[in-house]
Amino acid sequence: MWLTAIMDDLEYERFADIYSVWTATAASTRANKPFYVEAYLSADGPVVELGVGDGRIAVEAAVRGRSVIGVDLSPAMLQLCRDRATRAGVLDRLTLLRGDFRSFELDEPAALIALPYHSLGHLTSLSAKRDALCHIHTQLRPGGRFMFDDFVMTPARLEHMRRVQLRAEYVSPDGHDTLLWVTSLIDEPAQTMRVVTWEDELDADGAMIRRRYRMLSLSWMTPAQAAGLLADAGFTVEACFGRFDRTAFEADTADEQIWIARKDTAT
């Protein structure tokens, strides 16, 4: 049973202030960023990033000349994105909308909708993911593409995620040496997990003066489930990669499942 007191729809409101440390120390962020930026730059029409977060990807695309519509549920994450775009001098290339993957509304249909960095997994049931994919399909123009990535969950990865890991050491905004720890509580049959992080702030003697916990709800799909949901939503799969270098998906060797799907012109 998960802790309910700190579980709600706005987990990222609490997570926002450690998000940059989180992504800077994640295994897949170095590879997924250039993959998505290149896709945004080569799209021939409106580009939308769902779960735009702090703009790690969208602002890079904007710096390289591409306008991006960013959608996110979390006001704190949208503010981080706005701040990053302002610092980069490209705020005018971003349109930021507060909305849910399952109900956002665009002024015009998109050429590309991307949902990077395992973020569809924040919807933790298959039916919620199906609702999101069906809604995304309605927001694309005929011939438009939807791309997203998900974990490839293996016994080794589950074991790794269950371990308590020291993720980062950094200096907190109020000047304290800080250790960021992470582990995950995993419900394998449900294909869900609670990522639990905690930061220990230390005094000059190394004694802990404050510990703060944060939690994120995540989930994963098997490749067969992902293919099934895409088909249910009316998409045609164009490609499934196993790595961000565009290696074709092979179940035994894939690091990720990266899907590119098209809304057919006749639908």
Ligand X SMILES: C[S@@+](CC[C@H](N)C(=O)[O-])C[C@H]1O[C@@H](n2cnc3c(N)ncnc32)[C@H](O)[C@@H]1O
| Cα dihedral 229→231→234→238 (10° resolution) | 110
Task: Kindly indicate which of the ranges 50-58, 82-90, 133-141, 152-160 contains the residues binding ligand X, using the contact rule CB under 6 A.
Answer: 50-58
Q: Binding string, 177-216, against ligand X, x = CB under 6 A?
A: ----------------------------------------
Residue nearest to ligand X (CB): 53
Within residues 93-152, the interface with ligand X by CB under 6 A covers 100-101, 116-117, 119, 122-123
Residue 16 Cβ vs ligand X, minimum distance, rounded to whole Å? 8
Residue 83 Cβ vs ligand X, minimum distance, rounded to whole Å? 14
Nearer Cβ to ligand X (30/211) = 30
Residue 110 Cβ vs ligand X, minimum distance, rounded to whole Å? 15
Q: Does 84 bind ligand X (CB under 6 A)?
A: no
Distances in Å between the Cα of 60 and the Cα atoms of 34, 204, 213 are 9, 37, 30
Residue 77 Cβ vs ligand X, minimum distance, rounded to whole Å? 4
Q: What are the helix and strand counts (H, E) for the chain?
A: 8, 11
Three-state SS at 41: helix
Nearer Cβ to ligand X (19/249) = 19
The type of residue at 11 is: E
- The long-range contacts involving 16-20, CB below 8 angstroms and separated by at least 24 positions, are 16/54, 16/74, 16/76, 16/77, 16/79, 16/80, 17/76, 17/173, 18/180, 18/197, 18/199, 18/214, 19/53, 19/54, 19/77, 19/80, 20/54, 20/80
Nearer Cβ to ligand X (72/200) = 72
Q: Does 53 bind ligand X (CB under 6 A)?
A: yes
- Count Cβ atoms below 10 Å from residue 32 Cβ, excluding itself: 21
Q: Does 77 bind ligand X (CB under 6 A)?
A: yes
Nearer Cβ to ligand X (77/186) = 77
Residue 112 Cβ vs ligand X, minimum distance, rounded to whole Å? 14
| Residue-wise burial string across 172-186, b where 16 or more C-beta atoms lie within 10 A, e elsewhere | beeebebbbbbbbeb
Residue 247 Cβ vs ligand X, minimum distance, rounded to whole Å? 20
Residue 168 Cβ vs ligand X, minimum distance, rounded to whole Å? 16
- How many positions of this chain bind ligand X (CB under 6 A)? 19
Phi, psi of 195 (to 5 degrees): -80, 120
Burial class of residue 8 in the structure, from the number of CB atoms within 10 Å of its CB (0-12 exposed, 13-18 middle, 19+ buried): exposed
C-alpha span between 256 and 32 (Å, rounded): 10
Task: Kindly indicate which of the ranges 66-74, 84-92, 155-163, 173-181 contains the residues binding ligand X, using the contact rule CB under 6 A.
Answer: 66-74
Instruction: Rule CB under 6 A: choose which of 18, 61, 73, 152 binds ligand X.
Output: 73
Q: Does 72 bind ligand X (CB under 6 A)?
A: yes
The terminus-to-terminus CA distance of the chain in angstroms comes to: 42
DSSP E strands, 62-123: 68-72, 94-98, 110-115
Which residues are at the interface with ligand X (CB under 6 A)?
A: 12, 23, 51-53, 56-57, 71-74, 77, 100-101, 116-117, 119, 122-123
